[in-house]
Structure 1
């Protein structure tokens, strides 16, 4: 059998660069172990599930090797689109996409996992495998050695009786978990937390979990929106009770303003804005399926389902051009485990496309990144609203 053409895989529509590949050594180790287990257990592809296959390297390689019917779950919309594009480019079919749900794992005897960064996400996945997969299921999890910790073994040990780390190869390592344990009747996810009148709901893969991350707090303060959504009056200089630089609201459209929370996470910005501006039409979008599920639950928990719509999308690709009055953005500065500003640039470009002329982009970012000149170039005139040693908030006006 010819060797699978990994070099033909692309990351598109995710960021592409010379130092960013569409596969890694962990993918290759997982494929090799899956082929060995399939031969040993006499499995076909319908008994194999793949979780976290970033751009399709695992799924497509195994399907190309004759294992038909593999089920795959990818959290990111970019990964889902890359898998579909790579499959079409290589002429490979015979697999199916699923959410992290019983349909993904029912009857699965081998589950392959690219280890996620967050322990909470790993915990939710491990619980799902133990809960829904076959009683003799084996979970083979892999990652780059430099990103692996003993805590991952401990998390897997909560759901599996046997957890064995394998010898490292090519700077990657596999962990094999077997003998699924009995799971609690109620799944531990999603989790819920209260923040001064704002209820946040989070699945394991959502950034910051049910906490209110620091950047979001800063942006909410600048907007003059409390956690519970009420508008606050700006405090005078030196009052010590709050910011004196609360942003003036954007000039509204003739109809109800349209506000986009781009990269919404658990939905804290979208829901807080909707509570403070019940006349607004708010769209919350994120490329993470875990974030989208969390945001939808947050919207429901705060009673704003009538004015907030949550979508799973990549860089607002489904939002019409020049249709938005305000974009709220707390951009990521990582691509997977790599620090890379390309993810933020894509969201700035998306903001430029969806904003109407004169519309506003309100952004919070790490002060060390210095995005102001880039925002001016891509969006329009940009002013600094607030700066701390850690975070900067800017307002950019979309040029005509």
Structure 2
């Protein structure tokens, strides 16, 4: 990536030489060029929110910025890209969306997230640290910035306008208005599950902002809950890509003897899963882990893995995450252990599972979803 601060070799995480997706895009370049062209002072506290793979903070590392991200993978990519650029340890402060933000922000750079709820939560949490002279600039591809995005900046920060589009990217300029009182964040959001969905019928779900389908139970998870395997006799179960943790909570309620590991790469998701689990007073033992799938879980240590894999990485449609989840599950499962997957029928996960495990069986299906079972031999 070529910037006014130099050229940087950047990679996504985990690195895959076959992956042709870059670790930056035109919106990152546009923002960095704007900062340099306008001579925006970067001597105060610079906060970068939603930096996809660390491209922005790597370029601005000399100004000792603070990065705030919901993504473990983005944080790991940032560490690797900073090291590759020869940046000293500690030059960039890495925070998650679950950490307290800085008390004062002089420059706020926002990579517009896909989730409007996450943007709302982030801006509301950061608003008390803004002052009249804070420079606030958002960036994203044109298709990521909507009228609702601009209204959110207007309501929480102050008067907002946009730039002309360049290479299908656009900037958002917002001027802090100290007279605004946007209030506290409404997140996390709690709701009760409907009846008729097994062990979690009528139970409470807690969702932090940005978690998939945060205000209701998505239809894929609902279908999965209706066809979960019996976990009787399973000692260690993993809710892989746990989201709000409702699947793992259902297992824990049905089998209090099982140890359930909730894992997701989203800090918001794992916080939601733990809150959902605690809200329902579930007996038994659970572990909550932010990480890259089952990396770090010992081989041959798990009896059952339950998985609803994502098929998007930001705006890109890809099966790379699902494949990594499946291969990680095979390694972690004991011989005879099972991986159960729910997914859209058209994604063809049965082909991948058969190639990896040597077997795959459709447990249940409807016109949109299938539940698949693969056994480690």
On whether the aligned pair clears a TM of 0.5, the verdict is: yes
* 1:109-153 Cα shifts (integer Å, max 9, x gaps): 211111111111111111122133345433211111123221111
Q: Which of 4, 7, 17 is the matching residue for 1:5?
A: 7
CA displacement 1:36-67 (0-9 Å, x = unmatched): 56x44x441x510001111111001011xx31
Superposition RMSD on alpha carbons, in Å? 2.0
| Structure 1 unpaired stretches of 5+ | 224-246
1:368: Cα distance to partner?
0.5
Shift, 1:370, TM fit: 1.1
Q: What is the 5 A alignment of 1:103-122?
A: 103-122=100-119
Q: Is the 8 A contact 2:51 2:57 kept in 1?
A: yes
| Other structure's SS at 2:123 match | helix
Counterparts in 2 of 1:154 and 1:211: CA distance versus 1, 3 Å: same
Contact map agreement 1:212 1:268 (CA 8 A) in 2:
no
Report matched runs for 1:79-98 at 5 Å.
79-93=74-88, 94-98=91-95
Match of 1:377 in 2: 355
**1:388 paired to 2:369:** no
Q: Take 2:98 and 2:373, find their aligned partners in 1: how far apart are those partners?
A: 40
1:182 corresponds to: 181
Residue 103 of structure 1 deviates from its aligned partner by: 4.2
- Runs of 4+ in structure 1 off by over 6 angstroms are none
Distance 1:2 1:148 in 2: 25
Structure-2 separation of matches of 1:136 and 1:306:
51
Q: CA deviation at 1:306?
A: 4.7
Partner SS, residue 222 of structure 1: coil
Q: Does 1:75 align with 2:80?
A: no
Q: How does 1:267-306 map to 2 (within 5 A)?
A: 267-304=245-282, 306=284
Tell me the equivalent position of 1:142.
139
What does residue 337 of structure 2 align with? 359
Deviation at 1:304, TM superposition (A): 2.6
Deviation at 1:19, TM superposition (A): 3.6
Q: Is the 8 A contact 2:4 2:36 kept in 1?
A: no
Normalising by structure 1, report the TM-score: 0.86
Using the alignment, how far apart are the partners of 2:27 and 2:17 within structure 1? 19
- 1:243-262 equivalent positions in 2, closer than 5 A: 247=229, 249=230, 252=233, 257-262=235-240
Which residue does the alignment assign to 1:203?
Answer: 208
SS at match of 2:101: helix
Task: Tell me what 2:128 maps to.
Answer: 131
1:259-285 superposed Cα distances (whole Å, 9 cap, x missing partner): 000000011111111111111100000
The answer on 1:216 being equivalent to 2:221 is yes
The structure-2 alpha-carbon separation of the partners of 1:299 and 1:16, relative to structure 1 and needing over 3 Å to count, comes to farther
Count of aligned pairs between the two proteins: 364
Partner of 2:199: none
1:304 to 1:131, Cα distance in 2 relative to 1, 3 A = farther
Contact 1:108 1:134 in 2 (8 A): yes
Partners of 1:83 and 1:144 in 2: how far apart?
21
